[in-house]
Amino acid sequence: TRTVIVNQAAAITNPSSVALSATPITYLQPLSSSVISASSALPVAGHFEWVDKSFTPSVSQSGTAYDVKFIPDNAADYKETTGLTCVITVNPATPSMAGITLTGTGITYGQTLADSMLTGDVVMNGHYEWVNPDTKPTVSDSGATPYDIIFKPDDSNYADVMMTVTVKVNKAVPVISSDILSGISASPLDYGQKLSESYLSGATPAAGKYVWKSGDEIPTVNGENNFTVTFIPSDLVNYE
């Protein structure tokens, strides 16, 4: 009789010929969270494992190939196969914004969202931005219309987060500049007519009209002829 030594066979004889793929993971997850599979059937039953399965790659390492080994189910007759590699995708993690209170400072009609400063807690270093900063809310939007904002983490391992916030919109006060004021004129009156019969004309700071404050007053021929004029905007919802 003779004794024959039977060595374990290689589970995979040509590791470089095996194409592997891995399920994506999210930043902070270890390699072990990703499942590895072969593109074609293998001659031996078993499973793949990451060699350094506790390693946690960053987003910048997405697309990197990491070492993999194949572990046969029949460990008595087949040995583990090393020398395998697999590329993995690492997606950014999404910061949890639960409990975050966010506000925008009040603005005046005519201003844009960019004029409202966003303030609130942050779960990590980063900043808030308006998605559409050029939007001009109306007074009817005040405290009612939600506007999209985005939290942009400084750390590229984390994804942007969308949120909404409302803004207080105050009525605007029409500003009559000195140039506008100097251009206001009134049609002449005959003695006995009321101020309201004199037509006021001139440029306006917004859509609207000028009216005499004391329209029933009857000016005298030689009296003081400077009278107070009031501007009434057409849009009384957005203007005072």
At 222 the pLDDT is 78
- How far apart, in whole angstroms, are the C-alpha atoms of residue 153 and residue 132? 19
Average pLDDT in the 186-192 region? 91
Average pLDDT in the 97-125 region? 92
Give the mean pLDDT of the chain: 93
Q: How many helices (H) and strands (E) does the chain have?
A: 1, 20
Rg (CA), the chain: 38
Can you say how many angstroms the Cα of residue 238 is from the centroid of all Cα atoms in its chain? 27
- How far apart, in whole angstroms, are the C-alpha atoms of residue 90 and residue 27? 6
- How far apart, in whole angstroms, are the C-alpha atoms of residue 170 and residue 107? 6
At 223 the pLDDT is 67
- How far apart, in whole angstroms, are the C-alpha atoms of residue 240 and residue 235? 9
| Residues above pLDDT 90, as percent of the chain | 80
- 193 pLDDT exceeds 90? yes
- How far apart, in whole angstroms, are the C-alpha atoms of residue 170 and residue 63? 51
Question: What are 203-231's pLDDT values in tens digits?
Answer: 999 999 999 999 999 998 876 678 999 99
Question: What are 116-174's pLDDT values in tens digits?
Answer: 999 888 889 999 999 999 999 999 999 999 999 999 999 999 999 999 999 999 999 99
Alpha helices in the chain (DSSP H): 178-182
* Local confidence band at 12 (pLDDT 50, 70, 90 cut-offs): confident
Q: Which residues pair with 152 in a beta bridge?
A: 127
- 72 pLDDT exceeds 90? yes
Average pLDDT in the 75-90 region? 93
